[in-house]
Chains A and B, each alone.
Chain A
Amino acid sequence: EPEVTQTPSHQVTQMGQEVILRCVPISNHLYFYWYRQILGQKVEFLVSFYNNEISEKSEIFDDQFSVERPDGSNFTLKIRSTKLEDSAMYFCASKYGTSYEQYFGPGTRLTVT
């Protein structure tokens, strides 16, 4: 069964450094998303992406964040200058067409020290 994959599974970085989290969505999916989950808290929407542009973003997704689909398979989330409060599990998700179901990846745990 096709699945969403994410790399790395765990990333440790120092405050102020740039990180890129990578996702490979399911191959025929058209809509892509990033969510995050701070430890012990709810999963929060960050951004949705369709047709090579951002379709919606939350207030969390400020100028320090960016997304890109550099080729036909990868979908990346970049944090330009990480802060301690960026430590969280980041989930990528993808969806085909107008279906309701989003498929989530296993997540990348980001630890900012």
Chain B
Amino acid sequence: GNSVTQMEGPVTLSEEAFLTINCTYTATGYPSLFWYVQYPGEGLQLLLKATKADDKGSNKGFEATYRKETTSFHLEKGSVQVSDSAVYFCALSEGKGGYQKVTFGTGTKLQVIP
């Protein structure tokens, strides 16, 4: 079955530091890949997505590139802010038609300190 593995947290960074959160996946076909973010006390928000190999998803300064050869989708940001503190989930979706379910990683908690 499909699975997503992401780096254990928590990750603690100083403001303006560079962020990388590693994510690798296992899938039987050609999944779409996502990063979701969960701010404290809130629900899941889609941060960015990539639907095919070599696509780069980007949003709010975050980026991730769909690497089929390494089955990876690492999240990066050049300069984090305190407001980026949240839990980040790597996820994939696969399936034909509309029935795709999302498979999530375990989440990585990011804490940015001033």
* A, B from the same assembly: yes
Stretch of B14-22, B65-73, B74-82, B91-99 at the chain-chain interface: B91-99
Residue of A43, A91, A101, A103 most packed against chain B (CB within 10 A): A43
Complex Cα spacing A102 to B94, Å: 12
Query: How many A-B pairs fall under 8 Å by CB?
Result: 61
CA distance A42 to B51 in the complex (A): 22
Describe A's contact surface by its main secondary structure.
Answer: strand
Tell yes or no: A45 within 8 A of B by CB. yes
Most buried by B among A42, A50, A55, A105: A42
Flag if A45 contacts B103 (CB, 8 Å): yes
Q: How far is the CB of A21 from chain B (nearest CB, A)?
A: 13
Give the nearest-CB partner of B36 in chain A. Answer: A104
* A35 on the B face (CB < 8 A): yes
Structural contact, B101 and A106, CB atoms closer than 8 A? no
Interface size of A as a range: 20 to 34
Cα-based distance from A97 to B98 in the complex (angstroms)? 6
Could you pull out 13 A-B pairs where Cβ atoms are within 8 angstroms? Answer: A42-B105, A43-B89, A48-B99, A50-B98, A50-B99, A56-B99, A91-B44, A100-B32, A100-B93, A100-B100, A102-B102, A104-B44, A104-B46
A binding-site residues for B, Cβ under 8 Å: 30-31, 33, 35, 41-45, 48, 50, 55-56, 91, 93, 95, 97-98, 100-107
